[in-house]
Chains A and B, each alone.
Chain A
C-alpha cells in the first residue's frame, strides 16, 4: 500500500538552525491498516505527513503508493487519493462558501471528464451530499446553504472528514484532528472517523498525543523520536500492551525530554 523507503528531510541544511527532521524512515503499510502514531513534539510526525502528502518533497528516499512512485508528485495531485485532516478545524474548509459548495469542491476529485469543471451542482449531487451529511448526525443536512464559517469547530472538523472521504481516498492522514476540540465533540468526531474508515476500508495514519487512543484505535502503533520510527507494534503484542507499557517505552526512547512534554498529561485517564 504505502511504502516509504529511507526517507530523510533536513530543514535549513548547513546553517546553525539545521534540523534533521526525518532520518531514514522506512515504513510499509498493508491495505486497510489503521496506524496510530505517537511521539513527542518535534519527533517528526507532522514532517512525515508533509512528505507523504507532498507539502514538501523529501531530500532523500522514495515514497510509493499502491505500487506507484509518488516521491516527486505535487501536493494537489496527491490529494486526489490522499485525504488529510489537520489539528486546526478551520484549515480544511472554505469559511465564506456554503456547506454545499465546499462538498462540491471535494467531490470534484472524481471528475474525469474535462468539461466537468464547467458544470454546476446538480440536484442529484445535492441529494447525495444531503444523504452523506445526515450520517454525521449534526443536522447539517438542513443547513446546506449556510456558509461554513457559521459552524462550530467540531462541525467543521466533521465536515472536513466527510469531504476528505467523500471520494474514498487510498490513504487518510489524521494529524491530531481532534486535539483542538472539546472532549465531547472530540469523541464524537473520533467515533465518526472510526465508522467511516471501517465502512470504506480506508488505510489510515493517525497522529495522537493520547496514549489511550493510540492503543484503542487501529491495528498498529508507531512511536517516533528524533526523526526515526523507534517502536512499531501490532498484533498480539499490541493487544497485550497497556498505556503504562507504552509510556515506559516512551521514557526509554525520549529520556529526560519527556519531562516537559504534554504526553505525560494526556497519558493517564
Chain B
C-alpha cells in the first residue's frame, strides 16, 4: 500500500486540493448560500489564471494574486448586474459572462492560447527562498497553502456572522423575509457573487503559479469539478455549524483530488476525469430524488402485498 500511495501523491493531492478548494468555497457561497448557479466559474477561473500569470511574468507574483481577485470581482459584478438589474435569468447570466470571458482571457494572454510562467518568481518560489532546509524545500507549498486556506476559511466564517453575511445568507434562504427587513436582495447577490468570484480568481492565479503555466482551456468543466468537491464536503459536514461546513468544503476538495490521484495511479486516462466528475455530481444531486423513488416503489410493493393478503382473507 505504501508503494501504491506515496507521500508525494498525498502531498500533490493536498496541494492541488487546497488550491481547487477556493473554487469549491466560491460555489459554497454562490450555490449553497445564495442559491444561485453561477456558471461563469469556468471562465472566471481561467481569467484569474491569465491575469495572475501575466502579472507574475511582469515580476509581481504577490500582486498577481490580488489582481486575479480583482478581475474575479469584476467578472462577478457583471454576472450579478445582468441578473439583478437587467432581468437576465441567473443561469443565463453566468453562461453569457462565461462566453464573453473567453475572448477577454485570450486578450489578457496577448491572444496566445498558452502562457509559460517558467523562469520568473512565483509566490511559491518566494516562500521557498525563506528557508534553506530540505524539509522546507519539500513542504513549503503545502504549508503556505494550508495557512492561506485556514485564514480564508476563518475570514469567510467571520464574515458570515456579520450583519452583511447574515443578510446574504437570508437572501438565499428567504427573499421575502429579506425585502421585509429593509435589505436590498439585489445588493446582497452582487456582494455575494463578487466575493465568490474573487475566490475563483485567486484559485486560478495560484494554480497558474503552481503549474507555471496558463492555458485558455484550463477552466473547462471547473464548475462541475468544484460542485463535486462541494457536494463531497457538504455530505461529510452534515448539519454542522457554519465553520464546520466551510472547513468540510476544503476537506471535500482534497478528498476529490485524492480520488483523482488514485485514479491516475490506476492508469485511468486523464481525459476520463471530466466524465467521472460529471457522474459524481449527477449522482450526488440526484440522490435525494432517487431515494424518494425507491421509497415510493417499496410502499407500492407493500401495498400490493397487503392487497393480495386482504383478498385471500376475503375469499376464505
Contact of A92 among B163, B173, B180, B185 (CB under 8 A): B180
A88-144, CB < 8 A from B: 91-97, 101-102, 104-106, 108-109, 111, 116-121
Which of B164, B167, B173 has the most chain A CB atoms inside 10 A of its CB? B173
Asked if B163 contacts A79 (CB within 8 A), the reply is: no
Residue numbers in A under 8 Å from B179 (CB-CB): 75-76, 79
A105 touches B176 (CB 8 A): no
Tell yes or no: A43 within 8 A of B by CB. no
Are A109 and B176 within 8 A (Cβ)?
no
A86 CA to B184 CA in the complex, in Å? 19
A83 at the A/B interface (Cβ < 8 Å)?
A: yes
Q: Given A93-B174, A95-B173, are A76 and B183 neighbors across the interface (CB < 8 Å)?
A: yes
Does B181 belong to the interface (CB within 8 Å)? yes
Cβ-based interface call for A163 (8 A): yes
Q: A92-B177, A93-B174, A96-B173 are in contact. Are A79 and B166 (CB under 8 A)?
A: no
Cβ of A84 within 8 Å of any chain B Cβ, yes or no, is yes
> For chain B, which range describes its interface: under 10, 10 to 19, 20 to 34, or 35 or more residues?
20 to 34
User: Does B163 contact A105, Cβ atoms closer than 8 Å?
Assistant: yes
Which one, B162, B164, B166, B182, contacts A109 given CB within 8 A? B182
Measured CA separation A201–B182 after assembly (Å): 21
- Known: A92-B180, A94-B174. Is A108-B185 also a contact (CB below 8 A)? no
With a 10 A CB-CB cut-off, give which of B169, B170, B181 has the most chain A CB atoms. B181
Question: What chain B residues lie within 8 Å of A79 (beta carbons)?
Answer: 179-182
Q: When the two chains form the complex, which single residue of A78, A91, A104 contacts B166, counting CB atoms closer than 8 Å? A: A104
Among candidates B161, B163, B169, B185, residue contacting A94 with C-beta atoms closer than 8 Å: B169
- Does A80 sit within 8 A of B, measured CB to CB? yes
Q: Which residues of B contact A106 (CB under 8 A)?
A: 181
Residue of A nearest to B169 (CB): A97
A74, A94, A118, A164: which contacts B164 (Cβ < 8 A)?
A118
**Could you say which of A83, A86, A91 has the most chain B C-beta atoms within 10 Å of its C-beta?**
A91
B182 touches A94 (CB 8 A): no
Q: How far is the CB of B75 from chain A (nearest CB, A)?
A: 24
Q: What class of interface size applies to chain A in its complex with B?
A: 20 to 34
CA distance A76 to B180 in the complex (A): 6
**CB of A200 closer than 8 Å to a CB of B:** no
- Between A77, A84, A104, the greatest number of chain B beta carbons within 10 A of the residue's beta carbon is seen for A104
Question: How far does the alpha carbon of A102 sit from the alpha carbon of B163 in the complex, in Å?
Answer: 10
Contact at B185–A76, with CB atoms within 8 Å? Answer: yes
Task: Please measure, in the bound complex, the distance between the C-alpha atom of A173 and the C-alpha atom of B177, giving whole angstroms.
Answer: 14
Give the docked Cα–Cα distance between A83 and B166 (Å): 20
Q: How far is the CA of A111 from the CA of B162 in the complex (A)?
A: 13
Expressed in whole angstroms, the minimum distance between the Cβ of A204 and any Cβ of chain B is 16
Given contacts A76-B182, A79-B182, A108-B181, contact A86 B166 (CB under 8 A): no
Chain B residues near A83: list those with CB within 8 A. Answer: 180
Minimum distance in angstroms from A72 CB to a CB of chain B:
15
The majority secondary structure among interface residues of chain B is helix
Roughly how many angstroms separate A92 CA and B158 CA in the complex, as a whole number? Answer: 25
Are A120 and B183 in contact (CB-based, < 8 A)?
A: no
Closest CB in chain A relative to B276 CB, distance in Å: 31
Contact B163 A117 (CB under 8 A): yes
Within A145-168, the residues touching B (CB, 8 Å) are 163-164
Note all chain B residues with C-beta closer than 8 A to A86.
176
B239 CB, min distance to chain A CBs, angstroms: 9
Q: Which residue from B158, B170, B184, B185 sits with its C-beta under 8 Å from A105?
A: B170
CA gap between A91 and B174 in the complex, in Å: 7
Q: Give complex CA distance A92, B173 in Å.
A: 11
Q: Tell me how far the C-beta of A107 lies from the nearest C-beta in chain B, rounded to whole angstroms.
A: 9
Neighbouring A residues of B162 by C-beta, 8 Å: 117-120
Which A residues are in CB contact (< 8 Å) with B182?
Answer: 76-80, 108-109
Q: How far is it, in angstroms, between the C-alpha of A178 and the C-alpha of B248 when the chains are bound? A: 41
- Contact A91 to B176, CB < 8 A, known contacts A79-B182, A109-B182: yes
Does B163 lie within 8 Å of A118, measured CB to CB?
Answer: yes
Q: What's the Cα separation between A80 and B181 when bound, in Å?
A: 7
Roughly how many angstroms separate A95 CA and B174 CA in the complex, as a whole number? 8
Contacts A83-B180, A118-B162, A120-B158 known; 12 new A-B pairs at CB < 8 A: A74-B184, A78-B182, A79-B182, A80-B182, A92-B176, A92-B177, A101-B166, A105-B167, A105-B178, A108-B167, A119-B163, A120-B162
Partner-A contacts on B (CB < 8 A):
158, 161-164, 166-167, 169-170, 173-174, 176-185
Task: Please list the 7 inter-chain residue pairs (A to B) with the smallest Cβ-Cβ separation, ordered nearest first.
Answer: A94-B173, A117-B164, A94-B174, A80-B182, A79-B182, A94-B170, A117-B163
Q: List 30 A-B contacts (CB under 8 A).
A: A75-B179, A76-B178, A79-B182, A83-B180, A84-B180, A86-B176, A92-B174, A92-B176, A92-B177, A93-B177, A94-B177, A95-B174, A96-B173, A97-B169, A97-B173, A102-B170, A104-B166, A105-B167, A105-B177, A105-B178, A106-B181, A108-B166, A108-B182, A108-B183, A116-B163, A117-B162, A118-B162, A118-B164, A120-B158, A163-B181
